[in-house]
Amino acid sequence: MATLTVQDIVLGGITPTYAAADVAGDTFPNDGRTFLHYKNTNAAARNVTVDSVRPCDQGTDHNQIQNVPATTGDKMLGPFPPARFNQTSGNVNVTYDAVTNLTVAAIRLPG
């Protein structure tokens, strides 16, 4: 699993740096203010699975699965409540059904 570098949004804005999604999955440190921005330039849509480690407020432990559309796909996911998504390490784990032409940036909102 590759560890994503979390980038902070500042008042003047940021130009995010995107990394190729890792075939083994990605992980990032989460404080509840971080979200993921995906871009998919592949001809096929991609599914992103965010691992839930505890039940949601409805009492069910289910992963968050989102589709990133094909060709010009652009999707933002999160932020992720730490109580539900953080591993014991404090990181959130993400996996993919395929990674060709899928990039991701981990971005943190100001506190």
The whole-angstrom separation of Cα 79 and Cα 59 is 20
**What's the Cα-to-Cα distance from 49 to each of 10, 12, 13, 64, rounded to whole Å?**
28, 31, 28, 6
Domain residue ranges of the chain, discontinuous segments joined by +: 2-108
| Domain 2-108 listed as CATH 1.10.3470 | no
26-35 per-position pLDDT tens digit: 999 999 999 9
33 CB neighbour count, 10 Å cutoff: 17
* pTM of the predicted protein model: 0.93
The whole-angstrom separation of Cα 89 and Cα 15 is 28
81-92 per-position pLDDT tens digit: 999 999 999 999
62-104 per-position pLDDT tens digit: 899 999 999 988 999 999 999 999 999 999 999 999 999 999 9
Q: What is the predicted pLDDT for the residue at 72?
A: 86
6-55 per-position pLDDT tens digit: 999 999 999 999 999 999 999 999 999 999 999 999 999 999 999 999 87
82 CB neighbour count, 10 Å cutoff: 15
49 and 65 in contact (C-beta within 8 Å)? yes
